[in-house]
Amino acid sequence: MTELFRLSAVEIAAGIRARAFSAVEVTEAHLARLEAVNPAINAVVQDGSTEALETARRIDEALARGEEPGLMAGVPAAIKVNVDQAGFATTNGLRLLRDNVARTDAPFVAQMRAAGAVFVGRTNTPAFSLRWFTDNGLNGQTLNPRNAALTPGGSSGGAAAAVAAGICPVAHGTDIAGSVRYPAYACGVHGLRPSFGRVATLNETSGDRFIGAQLMAVSGPIARRIADLELAHRVMSAPDRRDPWQVPAPHEGPAYARRAALCLAPDGMPVAPEVRAALVAAARVLEQAGWTVEEVDCPPMRPAAQINAVLWMAETELAVAGMMDREGDGAALFVYRMMCAETGPADLGRVMTALKDRAGLVRAWELFLDRYPLLICPVSGELPFAQQSDVRSEANFRRIYEAQLTQRALPALGMPALSVATGFAGEAPLGVQLVAGRFREDILFAAGGVLEAAGPAPEVADPA
């Protein structure tokens, strides 16, 4: 029999319902896996084992009474430490917030809990969730379970590493500049950045954020299977009145033409040969499945990335710049100063102009995605970066910042994007990014499923 920690979320939920195994057995298997591999990678930094076993027992008891256990019945999952989960500290990777214990769940955490998810622990993030690398002074560095010399990504590096290592089949991440999509890419798994307004969110420990984060920051799932992303996305996006931005959009949209745009180097960004080859290969797979693929230029990415930077840096300056000095995380301070230098002054005039210009860009992109319901483009212009390479020099940071153009641009536009693992280039994970119109995650799941079926599908990594 396949080890339980290697099963997908869909397989686990179905097996528990069919009484092929119990929720407790599944939970114990994943907690044992956590104990075996987490010391080597430091993905999970807050222990949820006691609550997890209690939840699993309740699910088994509910099934024995003939009750409906929920869509994610008994599925082990993990929540990132920058989101409220009742009884745990929402630290955002900061020593300053180690005692910031939440009294209530964020909306989608409550929805996952109600659907039967079993939370085995909470995953690491860089200080202030600011980097594409995962390290902080509170919990230390997270390693990539597929290759310890490479970043696990950030800021949801702990989440992607946990999924890749078999600690859980599904984990939560947040994304304001690639923090779901890039860790998925770096760890060789899949990650979904949902549409703006799809997943309700609120951290009562910190209150509402400023307008930039309200428009751009979303929560989404990371998993080893596209079907698991779809399952978690359906659960996480249940309606919740606490988020005034949430839109109760249907999960399946109207019929669409299977027409895709292939953009190998958006706005002329440098793209490594291995990344180009993966994009071309993905396009060929979709063509063989009946899609029409045309190589074209997509609408501008750089203006969208600049809007993201202005809104994000304005928020950071107002909300947390003072905390950065008190926290004293050298890497976070370096990255923040470099991002401020790249962005320029984020004053009132630039913020208002950014919000005005955003409307025109979103309009152009929606029209483009009406003609081409799917865009195939790079997740990153490079293979996963060497561990901690962003803080080695200013030149290194600028190279990485440029390689992450699509990560920075797309959040300003509100469309959903999917990072699909497609294999390896040597010892480095490789993948492609799919983009669709707002609330058309169904198109992403359909196309991502085609790519996944062509293989190789991500399997559990065994950290050395």
Position 461 in a domain: no
Position 459 in a domain: no
171 with 57: CB under 8 angstroms? no
Position 442 in a domain: yes
Cβ atoms within 10 Å, residue 345: 12
Position 463 in a domain: no
How many domains, the chain? 1
Position 142 in a domain: yes
pLDDT tens digit at each of 464 positions of the chain: 689 999 999 999 999 999 999 999 999 999 999 999 999 999 999 999 999 999 999 999 999 999 999 999 999 999 999 999 999 999 999 999 999 999 999 999 999 999 999 999 999 999 999 999 999 999 999 999 999 999 999 999 999 999 999 999 999 999 999 999 999 999 999 999 999 999 999 999 999 999 999 999 999 999 999 999 999 999 999 999 999 999 999 999 999 999 999 999 999 999 999 999 999 999 999 999 999 999 999 999 999 999 999 999 999 999 998 899 999 999 999 999 999 999 999 999 999 999 999 999 999 999 999 999 999 999 999 999 999 999 999 999 999 999 999 999 999 999 999 999 999 999 999 999 999 999 999 999 999 999 999 989 999 999 97
Tokens representing residue 94 in the block: 């900061």
**Structural domain boundaries, residue 319:** 4-454
Position 115 in a domain: yes
Active site residues: 80, 155, 179
Position 462 in a domain: no
Distance, C-alpha 124 to centroid of its chain: 13
On the CB side of 293, CA atoms within 13 Å amount to: 22
Which residue, 458, 424, 441, is CA-closest to 163? 458
Which residue, 390, 457, 464, is CA-closest to 422? 457
241 vs 220: CA distance, rounded Å: 18
Position 129 in a domain: yes
Which residue, 6, 243, 236, is CA-closest to 115? 236
E-state strands within 57-150: 76-80, 118-123
Say what the pLDDT of residue 1 is: 64
pTM of the model: 0.98
Question: For position 283, which CATH number holds?
Answer: 3.90.1300.10
351 vs 155: CA distance, rounded Å: 24
Cβ atoms within 10 Å, residue 356: 10
292 with 259: CB under 8 angstroms? yes
